[in-house]
């Protein structure tokens, strides 16, 4: 946590004793972690250890059953999804969720437009927005597909588009749920590049991945979860060398 | 927006692939639909004489306002509402109650207070009232989605009908309200058919322009995003409920304006004009024309009116079956459309 | 046990609990005030609730398999009722026959088509490798044509229903009895060779079947009840035909269930209007069935027929429950409800299974329609109204849950009655929809949500 | 009129005529809530028109009826009206069979100077609808007064009413109850029902819980009238039931069956001694194989003959004013009564209602319509 | 003789519940090698490469084109699998890999071309194809979410009447993925993504297929499970001769276990060869670069 923290805390996001259960399953069970500002944090853990649930809680897609989420020092008991971008947080989904029946282009444009009701009625696409959209689409390699409907894309293309859509939202903290799953190696490179660039712009990234190479390569900070709890955290190489992590997650 | 350029590769490919050629022909269906329906309307008008054509024109304008406004909700926002007729009714009843000057002194019928307002004073009240109702209803309905939304909107239509029928102190229940005033600007009264048609068309134009303004704005794009994935839209900072509520209210207000026109046009209204079936037919029109396209709604309304009135002239069809036969045709049309062209005659967006 | 879907915030749950308590208190107070009326309301609620429950059962079954609201379901209810009317006009009011050769021909064609398809899917598929496809096609065509002509005969000669249907009844009973006997024998004499058991059960089946056939043939009074069966089967066949002829193609391409919803809306509109053309749009009564006299009981009056309806609803529920939970077919149906494509991938002929589901659903709807028709009356628009009720009941109960469907059906029946205790009766629909909307606001997934 | 030629749209009969026929518009509720009335009325008109044409028309000119469906709704009546006037160019319209539809079209007719002449619309408001609006149907006002008197005379002091939510039924209920309360009676419970329901048990349960002396049914559809009677008995109600017109229609009585026995109703009925009436009923039955609503059937039948008479006098089917004046002048004797005429509001005068009581099922025949006539309505 | 089944992998602790003649034979084999003996890391694929399988394709796709509306997802693709082979299908996102598998299973709109199974044309509907002994595990772990895990597994062989056989297969699957045994009465929807993937794989195995089509079997799985899955694939193929066709992005992992690989790009097959060839030619990078060049100008 050596990064130059500008805010009151070195963390862009914090959870304090966050809990979520589904029936009898404690998906997230008293988790307290901090996501350092301006760094890439990776969350790993066995399947079903509550990683996606964590992101769902942080982004307000699921109501908290207990605990607090601290965004930029703001303590929240209830996270409302539509308020998260205002707090500087956005996300992607493990099961990609796009606006299927509108074009790739509009999928990005939606994110760029005015949030207030009345002004949005009077807003038409501005050159700035167009340029930004083009830039993003080129960045994720979807420029040539801009006129297709999002539902006609393949799995990986959808994934890229979703990342692009999140990028379009100019916020400080990005939560990526398995952004690398199902991507072709060279696409992986591109996404990695995107993430590095985001970091260099001082943004905070939290991502989930099961790809250890990427985790080692990319993450400044690694969080390992197991059955909804924090197993361990710290530097990637060190953490991944710990025996309990190997036992719970990596396998021999 | 990009239709032209999308076709080009198809043309190239059609040289070596006959299938592509068929697809190309089929993709011009929109053009054909336009041509056929407009030609049909013109022929009809010529054959039946101007008097009747004017009447039909007015009916069309009213239905078209309804269809365009409903399309905002169904086509653009993805809320399949079957309750639109309720707002139509609210507009109609408000205008009727406020403008009617009929004397109901006789013992046998229910008397309601009369106000005798001019049409243009009553109409805004009806529109606002429908808007307020829409706010109240929308706040509750915002919770519902998809099938459940369809169900509760069914409920709304039925509740509205029952209120019109049973709130006798205001609506005179089944007796209906007579002598609804004709619109009047200064000394100019729109009491002949032609001027009323002109007025209705002006209303229609306003509604179309307004809708067009809405759907081409950023607001409109957010609506389509909501249609696709409400939760994901929220994550991008849109207070989805507000958007849905706004478009719902706007659409309700347009429908109420149509209702006011309707009341004034017929000069008499009773609850039978606001039954659930009409609402279902209205949804059919919107789907028939095409979701998320304004011009499609106009075409859908046109088709509907032509079907309804055209049926009267089908040889060998006994008069008592005209209404039902129209429903049969409409039903079969819907089935065929869903089978071969689920986006409707003109639409892009599929249900 | 009631499991309430977690509602967002605590206040909501408190509010909901308060409302529920208030409603319960109100009802208790009312009951104490006038027990006689309460009993009568309960009886009324029970008899309409049974119809709603039947509707909700079929509705929920179809819905949770194909995930779209098949509005044909409403038309099926009307068809069940009008089928009885069509076949038994000679016993109904007005007396003028509506027997229409076109209508009969349409249904004969539908039945023939469905039979041809069923044969193709079952026999043809299995024998494909062993025999000549042309022969098979000819054979199934012949069989289907025979079935169609038979159906046409039945529909055009309703006065001889008992004669015409006695062979069919006999064969059905024979097969059923034979099957049951065989099953029992197999359990009793484990290890015995199959042949003797088969012969014994075949003989038993034939004897009982023949007796039943004779019984039916000699009892013109059975015509009414035979017409029930015929109209249920025909409504079911139309359901299958619609699925096979329309929905299959739509489902192959469709991205959203709303497409099928709208298409079935078209079907409902067309069938309702066609019904109104053939039978006129005014309401009609159905002929008197048994149990039309009312009994005084605990200060209320109830008809025997209503009790019978309740029985049918419960039997339908039990049957469906057994089917879904205990049989392989049921498991398959549930699997298709989860993911049809994967069901195909694991080797299920989903088209056939879904067709069966549609058949069952339509039969339930038709049964509900004709029972309510006997209880009160029929009219072309009854389909839409009944469907709405079935829909509400299944939503209230929790879509996809059979227990919920029954609970929802009876609950709706009761709410309709008790809801207007202090209000004028014309607000009945308003009350029930308001309660529905209120209920959905707090329990969006119904009383007993699925899974 | 013996040849059974059920032509749906009236075509002039076989003999070719050099002169074009008189064109008369007809608006009937062929579908919708007023279907039974509309259909009967339409059929009676066809019967009459075929008779007239078979007898050589009016001085050799045939009459042609152009029929449109007004669906018992104001809006559809307006479109139908426009179609008749604009496309077919008629100036005289017979119809419509529903008061609501009539009131919808009336202002237009009044403004255009087109005669609207109905045999079935009974709403009192129609009296005020204008100069060109006529009817042979009696206004509900009188019907209600007669019922009120009857109830009181029969010793009924507390009443429960169930009313179909239609203009006709509401109107009848209001006038009956007004008279009944004027005489000192009390309405202890009242319920209404929308036209499309078939299950009245919850409403009836509530009514009977108020323990009234009698039940009063105001129904527009025969079917619902009959069903209410049936369901009342099923729910164990054994007090007297009163009503007007509809629940003693043929269909209603069949629906109700034995339950209807003893039901009393105030209704207009064809006089058994009226030879025209009996002949019309006979011919109607011969042609259509059923009879329902005999009085309304006769009324529609008379309308056509009155129209023919006035056409004879004016000799022009475009002369609506002449036709109107003719109607004000005319005194007619036909199926529904002797020497009746129209007052200055276009209301029929010279007809009156009867009280009837339904017979047990075993005694009902086609001839007695299922009831016996008790005589004119009592006056207190 | 009954062909060898992957089921023989089950440990010998459990007893056979039916008098299946294959039982003892398989059992014997197991005892020879023991479950631990089949644990085989990367090295073993080299064996497969050194002696490439020969002979006719049991499944062959000839000039198949698939089109979704205006989008051409597969153009004139021809490929085949030999008995006992493990074949990978690789390529960038949207190249049409899933489409190949769907085309084989009759789930994609094939506009031209044929599929042959053992030399006969495969024309039947999906559910019939399954009965030929082909099992498909679709991309994105599609499960019967309202069925329990046990029921899900049973659905893998819905038409198998022999209860004992079903039981036995299920035991074997659960042994492979113990978590499934733990949660066997839970609904499938209550499992995490990785657990669901295991279940999907297990369901495919329940069919005891001759040819197993896997669409990204390791998508979203934890590394230990990924290893296990690859291992299982290798074992199933190697020991039991089950033919496998697998779509994978995890190139490193998959190249170690396959005999051959096809590489797709924008709907065309651009390369076919052994893993060594793939590594040597660096074809994957080329494909990707080619795509980048294509993407420069607009596709108008
Ligand atoms: N909607 C839900 N209902 C019930 N249980 C759920 C739900 N969502 C998740 N769970 C349970 O919560 C636990 C954590 O799930 P989660 O999806 O967060 O895991 P994950 O760490 O993202 O796993 P994976 O790496 O496989 O995606 C799992 O045991 C799962 O069964
Ligand atoms: N249902 C569909 N409608 C239209 N186009 C489709 C559809 N499914 C796939 N496509 C298109 O077909 C092409 C191939 O898709 P496919 O799913 O086979 O890709 P893939 O190679 O499996 O990619 P990934 O690795 O991302 O899963 C893509 O360009 C995609 O956009
Ligand atoms: Mg996850
Ligand atoms: Mg794929």
Residue E45 and residue E234 in contact, taking contact as beta carbons nearer than 8 Å: yes
Q: Count of CB contacts below 8 A, B vs E?
A: 7
Is residue B84 scored above 60 in pLDDT? yes
Looking at residue E2, its pLDDT comes to: 36
**CB distance from D83 to chain B under 8 Å?**
yes
Which residue among E71, E225, E295 sits closest to A47, beta carbon to beta carbon? E225
pLDDT at E49: 42
What CATH code is carried by the domain that includes residue A56?
Answer: 3.40.50.300
Q: Between chains, do B319 and D72 touch, taking CB under 8 Å as contact?
A: no
Q: Measuring from atom 29 of ligand 1, which residue has the nearest CA?
A: A48
CA of C258 vs chain B CAs: smallest distance (Å): 6
Token pair of D293 as six digits: 């609503």
List the chains bordering chain C where 3 or more Cβ pairs fall under 8 Å.
Answer: A, B, D, E
Residues of chain B with Cβ-Cβ distance to C255 below 8 Å are 350-351
Helix (H) or strand (E) holding A33, with range, is: strand A25-36
Give the whole-angstrom CA distance, residue C361 versus residue C368: 11
The single-letter DSSP state of residue A37 is T
Q: Are strands A40-44 and A204-208 parallel, antiparallel or unpaired?
A: parallel
Q: What is the whole-number distance in angstroms between the Cα of residue E232 and the centre of ligand 1?
A: 24
Q: Which chains touch B (3 or more CB pairs under 8 A)?
A: A, C, D, E
Q: Are B98 and B127 in contact (CB under 8 A)?
A: no
Task: List residues near ligand 2 (CB under 6 A).
Answer: A 152-157, 182; E 68-69, 71, 73, 91, 93-99
Cis, peptide link before residue E209, omega less than 30° from 0: no
Cα–Cα distances (Å) from C238 to C155, C235, C246, C366, C379, in that order, read 15, 5, 11, 11, 19
Least confident residue range of A30-34, A159-163, B180-184, E52-56: E52-56
Check if the beta carbon of residue D173 is closer than 8 Å to that of residue D161. Answer: yes
- pLDDT tens by residue, D326-354: 988 888 888 888 888 888 888 888 888 88
B341 touches chain E (CB under 8 A): no
Of residues B130 and E43, more confidence is placed in B130
Task: Write the DSSP string, C184-215.
Answer: HHHHHTTTS-HHHHHHHHHHHHHHHHHHHHHH
Burial class (CB in 10 A: 0-12, 13-18, 19+), E49: middle
Q: B175 vs D200, which has greater pLDDT?
A: D200
Decide if A185 and E251 are in contact by the 8 Å CB cutoff.
yes
| Model pLDDT for residues D85-117, shown as the tens digit of each residue | 888 889 999 978 888 788 888 888 888 889 999
Subunits next to A (3 or more Cβ pairs <8 Å) are: B, C, E
Is E293 a residue whose pLDDT tops 50? no
Instruction: Name the least confident of A126-135, B235-244, C159-168.
Output: C159-168
Mean pLDDT, rounded, for C342-351 = 86
pLDDT at E298: 34
Is it true that domain E2-133+209-292 has CATH number 3.40.50.300? Answer: yes
User: What residues in E contact C343, CB-CB < 8 Å?
Assistant: 144, 155
CB spacing of C255 vs A100 below 8 angstroms:
yes
B217 Cα to chain A: minimum distance (Å): 5
- Report chain C residues whose CB lies below 8 A from the CB of A100: 255
Residue E284 pLDDT grade (very low, low, confident, very high; cuts 50, 70, 90): low
| Residue of D89, D165, D195, D218 to mutate for B, most B C-beta atoms under 10 A | D165
Q: What pLDDT does residue B28 have?
A: 67
Residue contact D31–C381, C-beta within 8 A? no
Domain residue spans of chain E: 2-133+209-292
User: What average pLDDT score do residues C119-133 get?
Assistant: 75
Are the C-beta atoms of B326 and B268 separated by less than 8 Å? no
Cα–Cα distance, A235 to A249 (Å, whole number): 16
Distance CA E229, CA B101 (A): 82
pLDDT in tens, B137-179: 999 888 888 778 888 998 999 999 999 988 888 888 887 887 8
Residues with CB under 6 A from ligand 1: A 22, 25, 27, 45, 47-53, 94; E 190-194, 220
pLDDT at residue E3 is higher than 70: no
Interval C389-443: pLDDT, tens: 888 888 888 888 888 899 999 988 988 888 888 888 888 888 888 888 888 888 8
What is the C-alpha to C-alpha distance for residues B286 and B293, in angstroms, rounded to an integer? 9
Q: Which of B229, B331, B333 to mutate to test the interface with C (most CBs of C within 10 A)?
A: B331
Q: Closest ligand 1 atom to the C-alpha of A50?
A: 18
Report the candidate in B332, D223, B330, D197 with the shortest Cα–Cα distance to residue C385.
D197
Q: Which ligand is nearest to the CA of E102?
A: 2
Q: What is the number of helices (H) and of strands (E) in chain C? A: 18, 2
Q: Which residue of A has its CA nearest to E298?
A: A144
d(CA E7, CA E169): 7
The residue range of the domain holding A15 is 11-88+173-179+207-250
Which residue has the CA at smallest separation from atom 9 of ligand 2? A154
The tokens describing A69, both together, are 């989420």
Percent of chain D with pLDDT over 70: 95
- Contacts with C, B 17-56, CB within 8 Å: none
* E191, A53 contact by CB (below 8 A): no
Q: Which of A121-130, C53-62, C217-226 has the highest mean pLDDT?
A: C53-62
Distances in whole angstroms, Cα of residue B338 to Cα of each of C239, C254, C256, C262: 18, 9, 11, 7
Q: D250: closest CA among A6, C282, B247?
A: C282
Q: Identify the pLDDT of residue C12.
A: 66
Report how far residue A230's alpha carbon sits from residue A224's, in angstroms, rounded to the nearest whole number: 6
Chain C residues inside the 8 Å CB shell of E125: 344, 349, 351
pLDDT band for position C127 (cuts 50, 70, 90): confident
Q: Is residue A16 one of the residues assigned to a domain?
A: yes
Q: What is the mean pLDDT of the segment spanning D305-310?
A: 91
Sequence-ordered list of residues with C-beta below 8 angstroms from that of A135, at least 6 positions apart, any chain: none
User: Is the per-residue pLDDT at E10 higher than 50?
Assistant: no
Evaluate whether chains E and D are touching (3 or more beta carbon pairs less than 8 Å apart): no
10 Å CB burial of residue B16 (0-12, 13-18, 19+) is: exposed
Partners of D372 in beta bridges: D357
Buried b (16+ CB within 10 A) or exposed e, E66-84: bbeeeebbbbebebbbbbb
Check A160 against E93: CB less than 8 A apart: yes
What's the CA gap between D319 and D310, in Å, rounded? 10
How many Cβ atoms sit within 10 Å of the Cβ of residue E28? 11
With respect to residue A149, please indicate whether it lies within any of the assigned structural domains.
no
User: Which neighbouring-strand residues pair with E116?
Assistant: E60, E121
Lowest mean pLDDT among B34-48, B197-211, C47-61, D248-262: B34-48
Task: Grade residue C10 by pLDDT with cuts at 50, 70 and 90.
Answer: low
From the list D199, D203, D231, which residue is nearest C48 (CB)? D199
- The yes-or-no verdict on residue E20 having pLDDT over 50 is no
Shortest Cα distance from D166 to chain C (angstroms)?
12
Q: Is A228 among the domain residues? A: yes
Strand partners, D348: D342
In this structure, the residue with its CA closest to atom 5 of ligand 1 is E190
C-alpha A42 – ligand 2 centre gap (Å): 29
Size of interface A-C (CB pairs under 8 A): 4
**Which residue, judged by its Cα, is nearest atom 6 of ligand 1?**
E190
Residue of E nearest to A247 (CA): E224
CA of E107 to the centre of ligand 4 (A): 13
Cα angle B65, B67, B71; round to 5: 120
Return residues 187-216 of E near C (CB < 8 Å): 187, 189, 203, 207
Is D75 an interface residue toward B (CB < 8 Å)?
A: yes
Q: Where are the domains of chain B?
A: 53-286
The pLDDT, as a whole number, for residue C69 is 81
Contacts of C133-141 with CB under 8 Å at 24 or more apart are C140/C116, C141/C116
pLDDT higher than threshold 80 for residue B198: yes
Residues in chain B: 351
Check residue E158 and give its pLDDT.
Answer: 81
Residue A82 lies in a domain: yes
Q: What is the number of domains present in chain A?
A: 1
């Amino acid at each position: 946590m050596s990064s130059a923290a500008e805010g009151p805390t070195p963390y862009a996001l914090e959870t304090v004793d966050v809990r979520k259960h589904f029936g009898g399953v404690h998906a997230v069970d008293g988790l307290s972690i901090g996501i350092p500002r301006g760094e890439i944090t990776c969350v790993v853990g066995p399947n079903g250890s509550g990683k996606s649930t964590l992101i769902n809680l942080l982004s307000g897609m699921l109501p908290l059953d207990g605990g607090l989420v601290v965004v930029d020092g703001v303590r929240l008991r209830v996270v409302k999804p539509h308020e998260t971008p205002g707090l500087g947080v956005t996300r992607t989904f493990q099961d990609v969720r796009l606006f299927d029946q509108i074009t790739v282009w509009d999928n990005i444009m939606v994110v760029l437009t005015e949030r207030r009701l009345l002004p949005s009625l009077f807003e038409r696409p501005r050159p700035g927005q167009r340029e930004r959209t083009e830039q993003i689409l080129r960045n994720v390699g979807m420029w040539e597909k801009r006129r297709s409907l999002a539902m006609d894309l393949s799995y990986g293309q959808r994934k890229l588009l979703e990342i692009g859509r999140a990028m379009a939202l100019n916020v400080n903290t990005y939560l990526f749920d398995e952004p690398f799953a199902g991507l072709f190696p060279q696409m992986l490179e591109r996404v990695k590049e995107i993430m590095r660039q985001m970091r260099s712009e001082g943004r905070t990234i939290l991502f989930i991945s099961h790809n250890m190479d990427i985790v080692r390569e990319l993450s400044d900070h690694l969080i390992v979860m197991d059955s909804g709890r924090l197993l361990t955290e710290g530097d990637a190489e060190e953490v991944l060398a710990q025996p309990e992590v190997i036992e719970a997650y990596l396998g021999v | 927006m990009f239709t032209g350029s999308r076709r080009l590769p198809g043309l190239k490919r059609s040289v070596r692939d006959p299938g592509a050629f068929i697809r190309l022909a089929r993709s011009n269906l929109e053009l054909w639909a336009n041509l056929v329906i407009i030609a049909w309307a013109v022929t009809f008008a010529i054959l039946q004489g101007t008097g009747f054509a004017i009447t039909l024109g007015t009916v069309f304008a009213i239905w078209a306002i309804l269809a365009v406004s409903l399309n905002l909700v169904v086509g653009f926002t993805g809320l399949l509402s079957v309750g639109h007729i309720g707002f139509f009714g609210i507009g109609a009843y408000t205008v009727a109650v406020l403008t009617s000057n009929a004397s109901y002194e006789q013992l046998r019928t229910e008397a309601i207070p009369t106000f005798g307002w001019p049409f243009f004073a009553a109409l805004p009240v009806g529109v606002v009232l429908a808007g307020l109702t829409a706010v109240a209803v929308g706040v509750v309905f915002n919770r519902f989605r998809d099938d459940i939304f369809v169900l509760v909107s069914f409920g709304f239509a039925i509740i509205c009908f029952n209120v019109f029928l049973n709130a006798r102190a205001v609506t005179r229940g089944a007796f209906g309200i007579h002598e609804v005033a004709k619109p009047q600007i200064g000394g100019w009264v729109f009491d002949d058919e032609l001027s009323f048609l002109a007025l209705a068309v002006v209303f229609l134009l306003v509604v179309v322009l307004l809708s067009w303004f809405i759907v081409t704005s950023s607001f409109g794009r957010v609506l389509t995003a909501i249609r696709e994935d409400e939760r994901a839209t929220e994550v991008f900072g849109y207070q989805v409920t507000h958007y849905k509520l706004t478009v719902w209210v706007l659409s309700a207000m347009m429908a109420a304006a149509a209702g006011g026109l309707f009341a004034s046009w017929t000069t008499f209204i009773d609850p039978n004009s606001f039954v659930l079936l009409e609402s279902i037919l209205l949804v059919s029109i919107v789907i028939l024309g095409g979701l998320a396209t304004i011009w499609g709604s106009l075409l859908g309304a046109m088709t509907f009116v032509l079907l309804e009135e055209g049926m009267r002239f089908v040889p060998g069809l006994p008069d008592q079956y005209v209404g039902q036969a129209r429903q049969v045709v409409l039903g079969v049309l819907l089935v065929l459309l869903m089978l071969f062209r689920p986006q409707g005659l003109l639409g892009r967006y599929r249900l | 046990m009631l499991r309430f879907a977690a509602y967002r915030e605590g206040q909501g749950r408190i509010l909901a609990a308060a409302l529920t308590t208030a409603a319960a208190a109100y009802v208790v107070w009312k009951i104490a005030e006038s027990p006689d009326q309460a009993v009568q309301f309960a009886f009324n609620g029970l008899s309409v609730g049974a119809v709603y429950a039947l509707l909700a059962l079929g509705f929920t079954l179809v819905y949770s398999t194909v995930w779209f609201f098949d509005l044909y379901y409403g038309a099926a209810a009307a068809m069940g009722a009008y089928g009885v009317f069509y076949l038994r006009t000679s016993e109904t009011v007005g007396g003028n026959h509506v027997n229409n050769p076109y209508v009969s021909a349409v249904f004969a064609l539908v039945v023939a088509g469905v039979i041809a398809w069923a044969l193709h899917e079952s026999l043809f598929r299995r024998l494909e490798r062993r025999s000549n496809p042309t022969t098979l096609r000819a054979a199934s065509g012949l069989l289907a044509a025979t079935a169609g002509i038979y159906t046409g005969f039945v529909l055009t000669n309703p006065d001889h229903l008992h004669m015409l249907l006695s062979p069919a009844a006999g064969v059905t009973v024979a097969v059923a009895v034979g099957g049951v006997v065989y099953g029992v024998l197999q359990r009793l004499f484990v290890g015995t060779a199959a042949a003797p058991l088969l012969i014994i059960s075949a003989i038993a089946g034939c004897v009982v079947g023949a007796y039943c056939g004779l019984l039916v043939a000699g009892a013109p009074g059975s015509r009414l009840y035979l017409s029930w069966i015929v109209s249920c089967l025909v409504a079911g066949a139309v359901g299958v035909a619609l699925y096979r002829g329309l929905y299959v193609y739509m489902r192959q391409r469709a991205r959203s269930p709303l497409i099928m919803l709208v298409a079935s809306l078209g079907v409902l509109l067309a069938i309702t209007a066609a019904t109104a053309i053939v039978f006129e749009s005014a309401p009609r009564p159905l002929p008197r069935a048994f149990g039309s006299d009312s009994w005084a009981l605990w200060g209320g009056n109830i008809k025997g027929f209503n009790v019978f309806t309740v029985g049918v609803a419960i039997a339908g529920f039990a049957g469906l429950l057994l089917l879904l939970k205990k049989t392989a077919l049921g498991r398959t149906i549930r699997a298709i409800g989860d993911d049809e494509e994967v069901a195909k991938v694991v080797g299920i002929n989903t088209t056939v299974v879904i067709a069966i589901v549609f058949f069952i659903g339509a039969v339930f709807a038709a049964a509900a329609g004709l029972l309510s028709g006997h209880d009160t009356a029929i009219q072309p628009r009854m389909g839409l109204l009944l469907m709405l009720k079935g829909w509400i009941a299944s939503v209230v109960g929790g879509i996809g849950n059979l227990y919920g469907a029954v609970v929802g059906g009876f609950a709706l029946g009761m709410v309709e009655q008790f809801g207007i205790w202090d209000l004028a009766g014309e607000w009945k629909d308003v009350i029930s929809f308001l309660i529905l909307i209120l209920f959905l606001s707090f329990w969006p997934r119904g009383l007993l949500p699925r899974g | 009129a013996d040849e059974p030629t059920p032509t749906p749209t009236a075509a002039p009969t076989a003999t070719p005529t050099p002169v074009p026929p008189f064109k008369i518009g007809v608006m009937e509720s062929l579908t919708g809530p007023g279907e039974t009335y509309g259909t009967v009325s339409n059929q009676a008109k066809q019967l009459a028109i075929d008779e007239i044409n078979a007898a050589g028309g009016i001085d050799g000119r045939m009459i042609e009826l152009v029929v449109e469906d007004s669906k018992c709704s104001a809006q559809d009546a307006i479109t139908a009206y426009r179609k008749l006037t604009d496309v077919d160019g008629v100036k005289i319209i017979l119809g419509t069979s529903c008061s609501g539809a009539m009131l919808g079209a009336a202002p237009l007719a009044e403004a255009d100077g087109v005669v609207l002449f109905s045999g079935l619309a009974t709403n009192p408001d129609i009296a005020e609808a204008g100069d060109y609006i006529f009817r042979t149907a009696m206004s509900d006002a009188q019907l209600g007064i007669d019922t009120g008197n009857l109830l009181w005379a029969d010793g009924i002091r507390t009443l429960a009413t169930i009313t179909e939510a239609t203009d006709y039924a509401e109107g009848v209920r209001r006038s009956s109850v007004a008279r009944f309360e004027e005489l000192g009676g009390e309405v202890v419970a009242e319920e209404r029902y929308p036209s499309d329901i078939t299950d009245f048990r919850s409403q009836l349960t509530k009514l009977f819980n108020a323990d009234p002396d009698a039940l009063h049914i105001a129904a527009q559809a025969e079917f619902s009238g009959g069903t209410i009677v049936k369901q009342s008995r099923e729910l164990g109600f054994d007090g007297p039931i009163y009503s007007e017109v509809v629940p003693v229609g043929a269909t209603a009585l069949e629906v109700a069956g034995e339950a209807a026995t003893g039901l009393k109703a105030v209704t207009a009925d064809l006089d058994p001694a009226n030879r025209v009436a009996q002949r019309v009923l006979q011919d109607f039955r011969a042609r259509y194989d059923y009879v329902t609503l005999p009085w309304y059937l006769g009324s529609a039948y008379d309308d056509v003959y009155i129209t023919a008479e006035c056409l004879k006098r004016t000799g022009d089917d475009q002369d609506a004013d002449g036709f109107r004046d003719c109607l004000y002048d005319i005194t007619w004797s036909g199926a529904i009564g002797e020497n009746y005429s129209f007052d200055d509001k276009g209301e029929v005068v010279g007809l009156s209602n009867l009280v009837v009581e339904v017979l047990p099922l075993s005694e009902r025949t086609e001839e007695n319509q299922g009831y016996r006539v008790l005589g004119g309505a009592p006056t207190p | 003789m009954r062909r060898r089944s992957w089921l023989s992998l089950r440990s010998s602790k459990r007893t056979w519940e039916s008098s299946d003649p294959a039982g003892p034979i398989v059992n014997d084999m197991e005892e020879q090698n023991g479950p631990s003996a089949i644990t085989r890391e990367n090295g073993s694929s080299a064996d497969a490469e050194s002696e490439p399988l020969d002979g006719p394709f049991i499944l062959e796709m000839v000039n198949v084109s698939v089109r979704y509306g205006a989008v051409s997802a597969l153009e004139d693709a021809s490929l085949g699998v030999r008995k006992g082979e493990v074949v990978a299908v690789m390529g960038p996102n949207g190249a049409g890999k899933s489409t190949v598998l769907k085309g084989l299973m009759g789930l994609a709109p094939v506009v031209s071309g044929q599929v042959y199974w053992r030399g006969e044309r495969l024309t039947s509907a999906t559910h019939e194809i399954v009965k030929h002994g082909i099992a498909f595990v679709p991309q994105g772990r599609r499960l019967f979410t309202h069925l329990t895990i046990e029921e899900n597994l049973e659905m893998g062989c819905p038409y198998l009447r022999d209860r004992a056989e079903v039981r036995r297969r299920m035991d074997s699957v659960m042994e492979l993925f113990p978590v499934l045994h733990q949660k066997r009465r839970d609904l499938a929807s209550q499992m995490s993504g990785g657990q669901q993937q295991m279940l999907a794989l297990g369901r495919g195995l329940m069919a005891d297929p001759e040819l197993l089509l896997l669409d990204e079997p390791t998508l979203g799985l934890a590394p230990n499970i990924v290893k296990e899955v690859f291992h299982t694939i290798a074992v199933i193929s190697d020991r039991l001769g089950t033919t496998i066709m697998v779509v994978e992005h995890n190139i490193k992992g998959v190249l170690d276990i396959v005999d051959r690989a096809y590489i797709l790009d924008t709907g065309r097959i651009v390369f076919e060869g052994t893993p060594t060839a793939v590594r040597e030619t660096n074809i994957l990078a080329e494909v990707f670069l080619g795509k980048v060049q294509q993407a420069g100008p607009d596709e108008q």
